[in-house]
Structure 1
């Protein structure tokens, strides 16, 4: 890469101050709201015709792309354009057509009881939608940030402040924590004896190896191709794949503490508090932010190494939320409707908890707050609380949309009927992005690198940038749909 252009690229993403929290665009909620109105009131996406595919792509992929680029200066207008038809459909059209009555489940016999028993960990459309929307935003942003059409206020801040991309990296970890709760709950439901710590640690290390290899490949490619890099983001050698790769063994280590502290939220808070106290009472904060780069690996990669503690806390906070919202929650004394109310109540409490802690931690709060600024580079306590509060709120809102537009989802009579209703309440494209997960994130990184090595992203005009970004989004969407169709998944 030309040295002058490389310097321009690095300057383009450096020394940024972000924007206020209210400026973080949440158009994905409006897109999902309109999709839900079209599906529940008009059955627009059933059957899934070419027209349905195009509208699905326009709403759930291009809607996010345009919200962060062409419409970034007028988010209110874009949200009005999406919410208005959804509200009109909701108020003027009848609710979803009643489905055929499900056949009553057969009486359990001694031989087939396990086949007819309800799965205690059902698939929740709102959780699929939440994870997929986060993945779309992440994939869009990692390439869009290299074009001038993407506002600098959305790009990662240098030291202090909040931005869309700062939120995105934390949300990626939080959502991974939410879904990781499924394995914990499944083990509890099976009643099987928990494997020994050494065995579980060895298994987590096996899961880490592919991610660490991806991190090494990214490191080699960045250095070998002389690719522009923002060193103060994670360090000289560190990258996000290393952070993801180290999470499994450390999470397993903290999981053993649940014997004494049976709450992942408290474990998360414990890590946060200890890390923040060390930052404030020692020279660690200045060492991470302003000390000269030494020759040792710790000094060269101090941002990635120490911020890992914050990401570990975010993961555990996500796992705590997941343990509450993933189980079916029904029992002989609790109906499906009561179980859904319980999920909504839990999410309201989670939002209230994390938001209140964030408020007192990041402001003076009428003289009682700590007034500590958010720092994604440090992954400090306010950052962890902000990410946890935002993602809990997103889950709550997606759950509310599903509850209002698809009330039949959590009232399914049996697993077969439930799968059908779940499919009807989930965007095909978002389901595919959720299925592709980490593989799509890896491909998005490869495509981003390919575009940056072949296109002078800083010098193209807005129409050219949008054309490239739309093509990129279409390629990722096509790959996601193909991976889901042929059940291809990167298993780590």
Structure 2
């Protein structure tokens, strides 16, 4: 029994060292790796708009969809990590050939409805009704689905050697793919939080809004505590400097709905400022005040150097607690983007591009060696450079997805016949990404459970490339099947 305990402790220490003291990679490399998602979107859209490949969704279409929009992301973060632009070229090349064919060949479509059906069933857990007059948009669905896909893949892939160490979360200073992932998750949540703002509906009383926010907060707190109990119960390897001893990402997410609810009335009382500008201003204000506290009030020194047990729960969870203002700023930056791209406007891409340049400029101002502040990015404290980097990346990604949709319209078939099938405009042509978007938080929870089970079952550190890719492939396919299964049945789980 003692030998087994010692072996477990030794393996746990090895895993902790495996994700410790990392310095990340360059922003340009991260941009190249994440460009695979829009590249896959280009080919997916081209296959539909030129060949009508996804007009009828069956097993073959699912496998192609999964391979393009999940499999390529897995390859980009593993075996193609050193040559992501080659992978992008392999995806975009065939799409350009299809684009050169013009309208494409006419294709006879059957009268059967496109799967998955939109009709809700009695098995539905929660039905989320979009605001009247504010339809969903395919490029937003694809962006959120791709973000969720790469997040779910990375949280398990990071435990294998096939996943480059430079993509894992950095210790304190620097940029990495996984550092960008957690911020993008929060940005994406803020984006959809803009729906009631854009819809312009009369707000319910504050008490009702707070009650709804408390329900969301309570559900996420429960998930956070469940994760905490499970992690501590099985003595799971974890990196304390990520969030602290007890804190985890679910606790950070749990605090966001309340602040979003409190900020919502500002848009109804301040009519002279566009909502996107107002929320961007809030994001910048929070990031600036937080940065001032970090740099000038000793907060940074406390987070990085204070003894872990000097102030009880506060010092034990100092990273999670004091990084929250930065994540809140990212959330409101996402809301600003949502106010810009959710309304039905012909110049959506231009509006998003302007915001992308704004956040790039803000990031250059605080991070660049040529700027006046020269601060380094730190996901650990979620400082201003980290906030502006995440906002710049995500608005640029949204702009890219919007442009793809302009070139390859999502709601048209390749046939010029009046009987051509019309696709629901709220869905992208990737049903897998649509499904990941529909139940994002539930799939993320399932991914966390799957990650734990895989690590308790397999020796991730000792797995070679083939075995690692096999495990990751099965894991990814399981998540995709679960997501599409819920989507086919019209089930949406709101946590």
Are residue 267 (structure 1) and residue 270 (structure 2) matched? Answer: no
Contact 1:406–1:425 (CA under 8 A) maintained in structure 2: no
2:334 to 318, 330, 337: 318
Contact 1:159–1:375 (CA under 8 A) maintained in structure 2: yes
Matches within 5 A, 1:77-92: 77-92=86-101
Partner of 1:130: 143
1:404 to 403, 407, 411: 407
Do the aligned partners of residues 234 and 419 (structure 1) sit closer, same or farther apart at CA in structure 2, a change above 3 Å counting?
Answer: farther
Partner of 1:3: 9
Extract unaligned runs of 5+ from structure 1: 101-117, 329-338, 410-416
Secondary structure in 1 aligned to 2:172? coil
2:19 to 2, 9, 13: 13
Provide the C-alpha distance between the structure 1 equivalents of 2:56 and 2:396, rounded to a whole number of angstroms.
32
Secondary structure in 1 aligned to 2:160? coil
1:424 CA drift (Å): 7.3
Contact 1:120–1:327 (CA under 8 A) maintained in structure 2: no
Contact 2:53–2:61 (CA under 8 A) maintained in structure 1: yes
Partner of 1:152: 165
Partner of 2:366: 361
Farther-moved stretch of structure 1 (46-55 vs 256-265): 256-265
1:48 CA drift (Å): 1.6
Contact 2:51–2:104 (CA under 8 A) maintained in structure 1: no
Are residue 166 (structure 1) and residue 179 (structure 2) matched? Answer: yes
Secondary structure in 2 aligned to 1:420? coil
Secondary structure in 2 aligned to 1:422? coil
1:279 to 275, 294, 297: 294
Q: Deviations over 1:260-305 (max 9, x none)?
A: 5751111111101100111111211011012211251000001000
Report the TM-score when normalising by structure 1. 0.88
Matches within 5 A, 1:52-451: 52-94=61-103, 119-186=132-199, 188=200, 190=201, 192=202, 194-258=203-267, 259-260=269-270, 263-295=278-310, 296-328=312-344, 339-340=345-346, 342-365=347-370, 368-406=371-409, 420-422=423-425, 425-451=428-454
Provide the C-alpha distance between the structure 2 equivalents of 1:278 and 1:148, rounded to a whole number of angstroms.
38
Secondary structure in 2 aligned to 1:370? coil
When the two structures are aligned, how many residues end up with a matched partner? 451
1:460 CA drift (Å): 1.1
Are residue 459 (structure 1) and residue 462 (structure 2) matched? Answer: yes
Extract unaligned runs of 5+ from structure 2: 110-130, 413-419
CA RMSD of aligned residues (A): 2.1
Do the aligned partners of residues 207 and 423 (structure 1) sit closer, same or farther apart at CA in structure 2, a change above 3 Å counting?
Answer: closer
Provide the C-alpha distance between the structure 2 equivalents of 1:298 and 1:32, rounded to a whole number of angstroms.
44
Report the TM-score when normalising by structure 2. 0.87
For CA contacts below 8 A with separation 6 or more, give which structure has more relative contact order: 2
Farther-moved stretch of structure 1 (393-402 vs 262-271): 262-271
Provide the C-alpha distance between the structure 2 equivalents of 1:407 and 1:475, rounded to a whole number of angstroms.
27
1:37 CA drift (Å): 1.1
